[in-house]
Structure 1
Amino acid sequence: MSSLLKLDHIDRKVLEKLQSNAKITNAQLSKDIGLSPAPTLERVKKLEQSGIIKSYHAHLDPQKVGLGVTTFVQVTLVGHRKSTTEQFVEKVELIPEVIECHHVTGSGDFLLKVISKDISSYQSLILEKINEIEEVASTHTMVILSTFKDSKVLPIP
């Protein structure tokens, strides 16, 4: 595991601003945090190179691009060998509708976040792809009816 990078109050401001608006110009960012543009850019580059800033993304509205059903799928594997877990993860990474994959504790082994066009598409996905992964013993689906909070902003300590 990598060691924590020491963040000062300016680094925290930079991260807060970039999390809320990754398209902010360097000029506006420097104005907002109270530094000139060159040191601001250096701060951003340092945060990128350290791996704290992993990437930049556009946050899309699933409904507007035709993805109307989001589910959480609890997956229980046939066993708990390292190779079983690795093989399952490799196969799940090939399914674009699986947008998150978490190894968890509790009654299941993995929690997947899956997005589909509609219930029929989800049914095909679960039957033809996820349940066909030989490492899968069982699945349990929870359909998301509505979402009240979907923040990607991390509370920086």
Structure 2
Amino acid sequence: MTDRTGGDYRLDEIDRRIVYALMGDARNTSAPAIAEEVSVSPATIRNRIAKLEEHGVIEGYHATVDFERAEGSLMNLFLCHAPFDEVEGLARRVGTVPGVVNVRELMGGRMNLHVLAVGTDTSDLRRIGRELEKMNVEIEDEFLLQNEHTFPYAPYGPADGHRREPLTDYISLTGGAEVVEVTVHEDAPIAGRTLEEADADGVLDEHTLVIAIERDDDVITPHGDTEIRPYDVVTVFSPTDADEPALRGFRGPDGDVGSTRVH
């Protein structure tokens, strides 16, 4: 996915679950509710939402309005043709017509501009149609809209519609090394210990190196006296496969860990 700076922004498991939840009901979905689903802190969720907004992944939040119930208004979909070299500029101009609430540009086909408009009656819809034609937009067809349904993007949601068990993400490097991002379980042996203490107590595998910690709004460069806390998102480097010994200290009693972004 390309962000507003022109670079690629990779969504991890937490990001995808945030987008899924907000697409379902942005107004009534809280950061603590999402945090509980993905086993991180609410502050981490709020920080991730801010980053998704900053990078243009989440472009805004909009109310879905039933205009027929509001004032008995009619919704009409105009299927239009615009010159291909002018379609982007015309889409912006069409959006300024009173009554137009949505404009979609299509990449191919003759009807490359779809315009959704709200009119008080059929006469008002005809007025909108005339204004579109004045802008060099040809109306190929039109339909009164009965209902519109929107749904969150299923691949970003829980598997099979149920809460997904926490996972761990990996990236393999040359020579068999791996970088892993894992969310610290609240009952993990390493939770509440400094890295020095974890190493001395044998909680941290001797071949495992903690290279970064994401905590709420901060990314921390760890040192020996850095304390690992529940719900920290920890980036771990292992010179060999990041198997059970490397991750045991971050897991809960049942072996649960969280899933986060891979660098």
Interval containing the TM-score (normalised by the shorter chain): 0.7 to 0.9
Q: Are the aligned partners of 1:67 and 1:115 in contact in 2 as well (CA < 8 Å)?
A: no
Relative to the length of structure 2, the TM-score reads 0.49
- Structure 2: which 5+ runs fail to align? 157-263
Q: CA deviation at 1:90?
A: 4.2
Specify the structure having the higher radius of gyration (Cα): 2
Secondary structure at 2:76 match in 1? strand
Secondary structure at the residue paired with 1:29? helix
How far does residue 54 in structure 1 lie from its aligned partner after superposition?
Answer: 0.9
**Cα distance in 2, alignment partners of residues 145 and 49 from structure 1:** 34
Q: Structure 1 length normalisation: TM-score? A: 0.77
Mapping of residues 113-152 of structure 1, within 5 Å: 113-127=116-130, 129-133=131-135, 135-136=136-137, 138-147=138-147, 149-151=148-150
Q: Tell which has more relative contact order, 1 or 2 (C-alpha 8 A, sep 6+).
A: 1
Q: Give 1 or 2: higher helix fraction.
A: 1
Superposition map of 1:64-79 within 5 A: 64-66=69-71, 68-77=73-82
Identity of aligned residues (%): 19
Asked if the contact 1:72/1:142 (under 8 Å) is kept, the reply is yes
Q: Kindly indicate whether the alpha-carbon contact (under 8 Å) linking 2:79 and 2:111 is maintained by their aligned counterparts in 1.
A: yes
Any idea what the Cα deviations from partners look like across 1:27-54, whole Å, max 9, x if unmatched? 2222233211222222211211111111
Note the aligned Cα RMSD (angstroms).
2.5
CA contact (8 A) 1:71 1:141 kept: no
Aligned residues between the structures: 150
- Summarize deviations over 1:90-131 as a string: whole Å, max 9, x none: 43121132222233332334222222122121122223x222
Tell me, yes or no, if the aligned pair for 1:67 and 1:116 is still in contact at 8 Å.
no
- For structure 1, the 5+ residue unaligned runs are none
